[in-house]
Amino acid sequence: METDILNPTATDELNPDYGFQRKRPVTHLEAKASGGPPYMRDVTDAMHVYTLNWGSLRSNAKLHADIKRLKRWGEQFRDGFFTIIDYDDTSNSSGLPRHHVGRFLDPIEPIEVANLWWSAQGVRFIELPDVPMVNYPDDWSGDAIWRFTLNDFGEQQPSVLTASNWELVQDANSEMSVIYGSSAGYDLQSNVTGEWAQLAYIGWGCQVWMPTGPSYGKAIVTLDGVNEGTVDLYSASSEPSAMQLQLQSVPLGKHVVQVQCSGLKNSSSSGYTVIFDTLKVMR
C-alpha cells in the first residue's frame, strides 16, 4: 500500500507541508494535517486510487492560480501518466523520496467554499504500482515489446513506398526466427535506392534490429522524419538479427520509424540489400 502522495517539489506552493503521523490506511482512511494550509486527503487501498482534496486560505487570485495549475495537469495527462513525488516518504531502500506514477481520473474544478477560500475536492489519482518512472525507462528486457514484420495473424505490419520493390522473405536470421527457435520468421528486403519501409508505434524510444550478411548494404534510419543515422548491414557471413540502432530519450507518444535503401554499401559487400526486420519498442 502506498500512502500520502503529493507534489512536484518540497517548496512548491501546491505542497501542503503536512505533518500528521502515518497510520495504516486500514485503520485511518482519512488523514488530516496537523499544520500547514487547511486540506485533507483520503487514502484508499482499492486499485491504488487516492482521493486528493486541496483547500487554502490564500488570496482568491493566488489559490485560483494554484487550482488552474492542477487543472492543466489533469488535462495534460488525461491520456498519459506522470510522476508525483512524496518528499516526506523516504522509507524505500534508497532513502530517496517516494515516486508515484499515475494520472488524474477526475476533472479538476475550483470550488469556492468560503470567502477567499477555494478548493479542489474529490480529485482521484490512480497509481500504476511498482512503476518508478522517475527517469527515462531503460529496462529493455522487462518493459519493451517486439514489433515483428508480421503480426500473429500473418499480416504485414510495416508499410512500404512501392510494394513491388519489397520482398517478404522467410529468413532464419530474422529476430522472430531467433526468438521462436525456427525459420518461421520473416523480414522485408529491398535493394532499390530510395525505397523505404516504415512502422508506426506508440511508446517511448525503440531499438532497430536487423540481421547482417555478405550482400547487404547500408540503411538510413529516420524517426518521425529525422535522420538518426546510417547502419552498415555488411558482415562476412550471415548473422542473426541484432540491435543495430537504439533511439533513446524519445518522448512518450506515436512515432514512425523508417528504414530506407541508401544505395550505398561497404566496400566488402557484394550487394545493396536493406532489411526491415524488427523493432523493440519501450512501452
Q: Which of 77, 95, 127 is the last residue of a domain?
A: 127
Strand positions, DSSP E, 61-217: 82-86, 98-104, 111-114, 117-127, 144-147, 159-160, 167-170, 186-190, 196-203, 206-212
The answer to whether residues 76 and 184 belong to one domain is: no
Region of 219 on the Ramachandran plot (φ > 0 left; ψ -120 to 50 alpha; else beta): beta
Provide the domain count of the chain.
2
How does pLDDT run across 99-130, given as a tens digit for each residue? 666 777 777 777 776 666 667 777 777 766 54
What was the pLDDT predicted at 80?
59
What was the pLDDT predicted at 135?
55
Q: In what order do the strands lie in the sheet with 144-147?
A: 144-147, 278-282, 206-212, 239-247
Q: Residue 259 belongs to what H/E stretch?
A: strand 253-261
Query: Average pLDDT in the 207-225 region?
Result: 97
Query: Average pLDDT in the 187-208 region?
Result: 94
Cα distance between residue 186 and residue 199, in whole Å? 15
pLDDT at 53 over 70: no
> Does a structural domain hold residue 35?
yes
> Does a structural domain hold residue 9?
no
The answer to whether residues 154 and 278 belong to one domain is: yes
The answer to whether residues 162 and 60 belong to one domain is: no
Give the chain's count of helices (H) and strands (E).
2, 19
Cα distance between residue 168 and residue 276, in whole Å? 10
The answer to whether residues 116 and 174 belong to one domain is: no
Cα distance between residue 204 and residue 246, in whole Å? 11
What was the pLDDT predicted at 133?
45
Residue 177, CA distances (Å) to 24, 79, 180, 240, 278 in order: 51, 35, 5, 9, 11
> Does a structural domain hold residue 17?
no
How does pLDDT run across 73-88, given as a tens digit for each residue? 666 655 556 666 666 6
Q: Encode 23-44: b = buried (16+ Cβ within 10 Å), e = exposed.
A: eebeeeeebeeeeebebbbebe
Q: Which of 71, 92, 127 is the last residue of a domain?
A: 127
Q: Which of 127, 154, 176 is the last residue of a domain?
A: 127
pLDDT at 177 over 70: yes
The answer to whether residues 274 and 177 belong to one domain is: yes
Residue 62 vs residue 223, higher pLDDT: 223
Cα distance between residue 33 and residue 21, in whole Å? 9
The answer to whether residues 109 and 71 belong to one domain is: yes
The answer to whether residues 107 and 150 belong to one domain is: no
The answer to whether residues 53 and 154 belong to one domain is: no
> Does a structural domain hold residue 66?
yes
CATH code of the domain in which 188 resides? 2.60.120.260
Cα distance between residue 151 and residue 30, in whole Å? 49
Grid cell in block for residue 61: 487570485
> Does a structural domain hold residue 157?
yes
> Does a structural domain hold residue 214?
yes
List helix spans (H) across 41-149: 60-76
How does pLDDT run across 226-241, given as a tens digit for each residue? 999 999 999 999 999 9
Residue 130 vs residue 254, higher pLDDT: 254
> Does a structural domain hold residue 15?
no
pLDDT at 174 over 60: yes
The answer to whether residues 123 and 150 belong to one domain is: no
The answer to whether residues 101 and 194 belong to one domain is: no
> Does a structural domain hold residue 23?
no
Q: Which of 182, 151, 149 is nearest to 168 (CA)?
A: 149
Domain that holds residue 162: 144-282
The overall average pLDDT reported for the chain is 74
Cα distance between residue 193 and residue 265, in whole Å? 11
Measured from the Cβ of residue 188, the count of other Cβ atoms closer than 10 Å reads: 24
The answer to whether residues 113 and 160 belong to one domain is: no
What was the pLDDT predicted at 180?
79
The answer to whether residues 110 and 85 belong to one domain is: yes
pTM, full prediction: 0.56
